[in-house]
Each structure stands twice: as structure tokens, then as C-alpha cells.
């Protein structure tokens, strides 16, 4: 008796879950499940041919060049010590406020996020830069580590964002529009973090003192090291917004600009290290993308995503309720999966439902990224916390997670604001010059 393709699709999802729970890498687990499914449906030779064609056809896509270029831009910025310059400028301008160093850390993370699209990298780098200064002034360890871990998550919201690029590729949405859509939610995130810290330090000054004795001369001098990076960021975002450049061309401009800024500060060894790290990171991401593409291709043959979308669309439930339930699912998944794997695995399955319900895919993409950000700070697998533990070895994991608690609460409020006012997400891309 022939087996229903949808049933095969459901069984493959169960098999994939078991693979991932057993510790198999996402790239291998998805490739194996997808290939075996295609073999069952189409036979060995068609399965091998389809798998190869799918990988080559998609990974040679011109739009994917944006990934290594943005990653390269971030590594050049790091090796040129631009991170330290951004943090120092934030310290000089904001250090006098209640909890000034904590606020400067958040704003320094936001600044570096505009040069680095990877959250864990941002947390690691800012941890090395900001934590010694926070400890020097006696700031509470939970607050200090929470600022860095939470601030690091902004790297996947504020463009350039690797995760947003991957979502746009999988969802077949405009990558330029998605990157621009992340600007206002990213600024909202930074602003609400700052407001929360101001209130906390105002109510409890013992958490850490403000920095005294900063002069206007100190503030103006601190801008010297960041003007170039600000110019590059404005040029990259501005060229996309005005339509003068595609995201890939804008990323090329950013990478070259960061290299020119870095050349006076780095030697050949650091240049080579930047290139090698770019290659490693890109290869890792592309391996995951290749495996997921095979699996998604197989799911398309089974009709599972379409069946799921049709089933949910026929339910007597409002689209907002369905969307909230999906976001809660991402909250749970974020406790166990990394962001790239989560987006690649779930978006091809869930997106047909989102479109069937009439929800804008750009709004959904930004909301998904916000949920991934929360997952980077929540136990048991909060990747930013694990990364930060490697920097702050004498702070317990429990204290770092507790320090993130206030930021997670603020993030949930932020998600609620974006759900209530999705125009915040769409404002910039809707005014984008085509």
C-alpha cells in the first residue's frame, strides 16, 4: 500500500528531531534526513541528482555573497580595535549617567553591532573590552555580564545581520528591505535597555557608580577613532536605502571600507587571521544551509508545509493568536538550538502558514530574529552566556543567566510593542527608494 507523502514528511521531522537530540550536527542531520526522504520518494539516482543540483543552484546564488562580505567587515573592525574605540566613545559620552558604564556597554554593543553581524562574536569581543572597565569601577557582576550578553544580541538585529540575510534567502524576501527593517527595532531595543538600566541604577546606586571627571575635551577626542566606521555604516545603509547599491554591493563597500580603516593598525598576521576566520565562519554557515536545502527540497515534495498551512488557516482562530503561539514556539526552541539552525529548520515549514494568514513576511522575519535574541540569553543553551563565561571565568553561569533576566523581560515587552505596532518594522523599508 503506498505511503502518504505528508506522513513521510512528518516521520522525517520526527527523525530529524531525534538526530538533533542525539548530538548530530544540523548540517549532517538535515542532509541525511532530506536525502533519505528523497530516496524513498524518487529513488536513489534522482535523489542524488536533486540534492547536488539543489546545493549548487542555491549556494552559487549571487545574493549569498553578502554573507562573507559582512562577516569580513566585522573581523576587520575587530582586528583594527574599532570595538575598543566605539566602547571608549560611549564611555566618555554616557559614563556620567547613573549606571553610566553599564549604559556605555549597551551602546558600545549597539555600535559594534553595526559592524558585526554575529551575536556570539559581539558578546566575546565586548566582554574582553568592557568587563575589565566595569570591574575596575566595582559594578555588580550580574549587571555587568548581563549587559554584555544582552548587548551582544543586538548584532543579529542591527544591520549588517547574518541571521536576517539567511532569513531573507530562505524566505525569498528582499534582503535589503529586511536589513533596513531591523534598524528601528534594533534602536528600540537599545533605547529600552538604557531606560531599564537608568531606572535600576537610580533605584539602587550600589550596583555601580557613574564615572566622574569626564570633560568635553575628552568626549570630543573620543570621537576621533569612530568617525570612519560611522561613515562606512551610513554609506552601506544609505546606498541600500536609496537604491544606489544592492545588499551585496553595499556589503562589498563596507568590507573594503573596514579594510582601509584597519590597514594602518594591523599587520599581515592579523589580516590573514581575519581572512581565515571569515572563511571558517562562512564555510560553517554554508554547510548548514546546504544540509537544510536538501531537507527543505524533500519537504516540498511531500507537501507537508502546504498541508500544515491549510490546516491552520481553516481553524477558527485569529491570525494574531496563531502568530503569538508560533513566537512562543521559537521561545522554547531558542533554549535548545542556535539561531541559524533554528531559522533554517523552521522558516520553510512555518512561512507558508504565515503567508496564508496574511501576515507580512518581513514583520514575521524581524519578530523571529527578536525571539532568537531572547534564546541567546535563556537556559539551558544560551549561547551568549556560554561565550561570556569563557571571558568572565570567575562568574558563575547562574549569575550570568540571572543578570540577563532583566534584559529578557525588556525583550518580551519589545516583542509585544512590535506585535501591537508592526509599522515600526515596516517604516524604513516602505520608504526605501526602489
Give per-residue pLDDT as tens, 240-291: 888 888 899 999 998 998 898 888 888 888 899 889 989 998 898 888 889 8
Give buried/exposed letters for 289-313 (b at 16+ CB in 10 A, else e).
Answer: bbbbbbbbbbbebbebbebbbeebb
pLDDT band at 433 (very low <50, low <70, confident <90, very high): low
Q: What is the mean pLDDT of residues 391-398?
A: 88
318 DSSP assignment: -
- Over the chain, what is the mean pLDDT? 89
378 DSSP assignment: S
> Which cell numbers hold the place of 89?
566613545
Q: What is the pLDDT of residue 364?
A: 96
Backbone angles phi, psi at 172, to 5 degrees: 60, 45
> Which cell numbers hold the place of 200?
535600576
Q: What is the mean pLDDT of residues 129-149?
A: 93
Nearest to 161 by CA among 329, 62, 285: 285
Query: Is residue 104 a contact partner of residue 87, using CB atoms and an 8 Å limit?
Result: yes
Biggest CA–CA distance in the chain, Å, is 82
- 0.85 exceeded by the pTM? yes
Nearest to 68 by CA among 317, 255, 314, 265: 255
Q: What is the pLDDT of residue 205?
A: 93
Give tens-digit pLDDT for 67-121. 899 889 888 888 888 888 999 999 999 999 999 999 999 999 999 888 887 888 8
Q: What is the pLDDT of residue 1?
A: 47
Whole-number Å distance between alpha carbons of 86 and 375? 26
Nearest to 188 by CA among 369, 322, 337: 369
Query: Is residue 298 a contact partner of residue 12, using CB atoms and an 8 Å limit?
Result: yes
Whole-number Å distance between alpha carbons of 52 and 408? 41
Element (DSSP H or E) covering residue 97: none
E-assigned strand segments in 30-144 = none
Write down the domain spans for the chain: 5-430
Whole-number Å distance between alpha carbons of 212 and 321? 49
Whole-number Å distance between alpha carbons of 13 and 33? 8
Query: Is residue 68 a contact partner of residue 259, using CB atoms and an 8 Å limit?
Result: no
pLDDT band at 64 (very low <50, low <70, confident <90, very high): confident
pLDDT at 421 over 90: yes
Whole-number Å distance between alpha carbons of 118 and 75? 10
Amino acid at each position: 500500500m503506498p505511503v502518504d507523502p505528508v506522513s513521510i514528511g512528518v516521520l522525517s521531522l520526527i527523525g530529524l528531531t531525534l538526530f538533533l537530540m542525539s548530538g548530530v550536527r544540523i548540517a549532517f542531520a538535515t542532509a541525511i534526513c532530506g536525502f533519505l526522504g528523497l530516496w524513498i520518494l524518487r529513488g536513489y539516482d534522482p535523489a542524488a541528482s536533486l540534492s547536488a543540483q539543489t546545493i549548487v543552484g542555491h549556494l552559487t546564488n549571487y545574493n549569498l555573497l553578502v554573507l562573507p562580505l559582512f562577516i569580513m567587515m566585522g573581523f576587520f573592525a575587530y582586528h583594527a580595535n574599532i570595538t575598543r574605540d566605539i566602547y571608549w566613545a560611549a564611555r566618555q559620552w554616557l559614563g556620567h549617567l547613573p549606571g553610566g558604564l553599564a549604559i556605555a556597554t549597551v551602546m558600545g554593543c549597539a555600535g559594534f553591532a553595526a559592524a558585526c553581524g554575529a551575536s556570539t562574536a559581539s558578546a566575546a569581543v565586548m566582554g574582553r573590552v568592557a568587563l575589565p572597565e566595569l570591574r575596575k569601577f566595582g559594578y555588580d557582576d550580574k549587571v555587568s555580564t548581563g549587559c554584555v550578553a544582552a548587548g551582544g544580541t543586538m548584532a543579529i538585529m542591527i544591520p549588517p545581520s547574518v541571521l536576517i540575510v539567511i532569513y531573507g534567502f530562505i524566505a525569498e524576501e528582499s534582503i535589503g528591505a529586511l536589513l533596513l527593517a531591523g534598524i528601528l527595532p534594533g534602536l528600540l531595543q537599545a533605547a529600552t535597555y538604557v531606560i531599564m538600566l537608568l531606572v535600576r541604577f537610580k533605584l539602587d546606586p550600589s550596583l555601580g557608580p557613574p564615572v566622574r571627571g569626564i570633560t568635553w575635551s575628552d568626549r570630543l577626542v573620543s570621537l576621533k577613532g569612530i568617525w570612519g566606521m560611522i561613515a562606512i555604516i551610513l554609506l552601506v545603509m544609505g546606498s541600500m536605502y536609496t537604491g544606489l547599491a544592492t545588499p551585496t554591493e553595499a556589503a562589498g563597500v563596507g568590507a573594503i571600507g573596514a579594510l582601509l580603516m584597519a590597514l594602518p593598525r594591523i599587520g599581515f598576521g592579523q589580516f590573514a587571521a581575519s581572512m581565515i576566520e571569515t572563511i571558517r565562519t562562512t564555510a560553517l554557515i554554508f554547510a548548514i544551509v546546504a544540509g537544510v536545502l536538501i531537507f527543505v527540497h524533500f519537504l516540498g515534495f511531500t507537501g507537508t508545509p502546504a498541508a500544515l498551512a491549510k490546516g491552520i488557516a481553516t481553524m477558527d482562530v485569529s491570525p494574531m493568536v496563531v502568530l503569538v503561539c508560533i513566537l512562543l514556539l521559537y521561545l522554547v526552541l531558542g533554549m535548545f538550538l542556535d539561531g541559524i539552525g533554528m531559522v533554517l529548520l523552521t522558516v520553510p515549514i512555518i512561512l507558508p502558514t504565515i503567508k496564508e494568514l496574511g501576515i507580512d513576511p518581513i514583520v514575521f522575519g524581524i519578530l523571529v530574529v527578536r525571539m532568537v535574541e531572547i534564546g541567546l540569553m535563556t537556559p539551558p543553551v544560551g549561547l551568549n552566556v556560554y561565550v561570556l563565561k569563557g571571558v568572565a571565568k570567575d562568574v558563575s553561569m547562574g549569575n550570568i543567566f540571572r543578570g540577563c533576566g532583566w534584559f529578557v523581560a525588556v525583550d518580551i515587552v519589545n516583542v509585544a510593542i512590535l506585535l501591537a505596532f508592526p509599522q515600526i518594522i515596516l517604516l524604513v523599508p516602505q520608504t526605501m527608494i526602489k
